[in-house]
Structure 1
Amino acid sequence: MGVANNITAVLNFVTFLCSIPIIAVGIWLAQQPDNGCIHLLRWPVVLLGFLVHLVSLAGFVAAYCNKETLLAFYLCCMAIVIGLLLILLVFAFIVTRPDGSYGVPGRGYQDFRLDGYSSWLTNHVVDSKSWTKIRACLADTDVCPKLTQQFITADQFFATHLSPLHSGCCKPPTICGYTFVNPTLWTNPVNPAGDLDCNQWSNDQTQLCYNCNSCKAGLLGNFKERKANIILIVEVVVLIWVYIIACSAFKNGQTEDLFFNRYKQGWT
């Protein structure tokens, strides 16, 4: 087995090991309340991790055993995986780039409006048919109840940087003018604003602002804060690097075989 194949085998083994934390991160992401309540986005990172796992294993076996046919198959699979990852990254960037957040004077957190996000994300994630199930799922989690254990005073709560999901679903929009009692209990204002979400807020701990558009916007806002894209970018760079070396090994192997065959024919 040539030096290039040795290097390819080692790099694919490293990539094989690197896919394990990708799978672990994917499982962790799937357990988060926002991903856990959306079946469409629950397991993509896990599936990609397993795909990288299998392709890297195939590349390691192909390089280690010096199997030309298996190495060619591996290179085809690797090109497909890299293409899928690039498509996913570009698509994720396009649909999550629009931002529905806006600053609130005197608050450490931001509020969120639904019309700031892409229409594709809105239609496929928080459309009216899906939201009934998502809302019920969020109500069964501890996303909002745990805030009452973390913050006691209004100053503490107002100064903190809430996640988009917490800001959109667990409290009424700031514009409504509700008075803080605790993070999930607010007193109705004397003259409420005309925002539709102001009438959707409920102190019922199973309702809160789960019916609000700000809650839908907060759910979409959580996607922008995910670090999974960074992991995928690093993985794409590593795979491209390994792919280039594997292509070089494959080309060198064919050259060596051609030279050996001509050398053998010369002796005969």
Structure 2
Amino acid sequence: MNQLKTLTVIGAGGKMGMRISANFQKSDYQVFYCENSPAAQQQVIQQGRELSDADSVVPLSDVVILAVPDIVLGKVSEAVVPQMKPGAVLLTLDPAAAYANLIFQRDDIDYAVAHPCHPSVFLERYTKEEHADAFGGIAAIQHVAAAWEAGSEAQRDELSKVIRVMYGPVEQVHWVTVTQLAYLEPTLVETVACMVGAFMKEALDETVKHSGVPEEAAKAMLYGHIQIALAVAFRATNPFSDACMIAMEYGREKIVKPDWKQIFEQKELDIVIARMLKIDAIRR
């Protein structure tokens, strides 16, 4: 495969666009930054990046990265994909639109998705910068899950170099299918993990409100037990006590629906992604 040398970031002034552009700016790649919003354009310029016209630079690019919200990916791809040169790669940052078949298609270009895993709760962090980098892409190392089903091993290896810079520092790029990536996000990490995180905050607030426990005491108790709960559940760091197991079972009876695993059925994945993209149904 030819080397990927020239990149274009569409949506360079958005949240993800700014994050990945900061890493590309320090790389050896030739990178063009494109942004339509006047306010976001100023953010790009303030970081010392020169803005380019998409119509001029997309046809020159080996990889075009769409760093735009999921709900507009289809519309943006309709404008961008026809301008891409044959053999180029369209790289999106979330699987939802690709899973829903909303991306404009051409037979002579390639399509890939790459999403950051974010730094692990079990990551050994040695510096203040690593501790401060909860999201990843600055100092704390993370993994990336990516999909390029039509790509060869050599093509994936070459695109991995771009991905490692974009989300760096990166320990490993895990290659999966688009559907598998959609089961990872949203199902595993948003439908379950992020929901549980928000639920724990709600439980903390209710504890303080209902019992009168000082908020700092409740936070100290919860934050420490989040750490140990994850360590025991995922790392088998000593077992939960017998009394804890009884309380956990009571909590499951009161809080968790018996049929909760249906979220892993594809029809349920279709439902949640359609909701996220604000469309009536997934295209097949």
For the pair shown, the structure with the greater C-alpha radius of gyration is: 1
Relative to its length, the structure with more strand (as a share) is 2
TM-score greater than 0.5 by the shorter chain? no
TM bracket (short chain): under 0.3
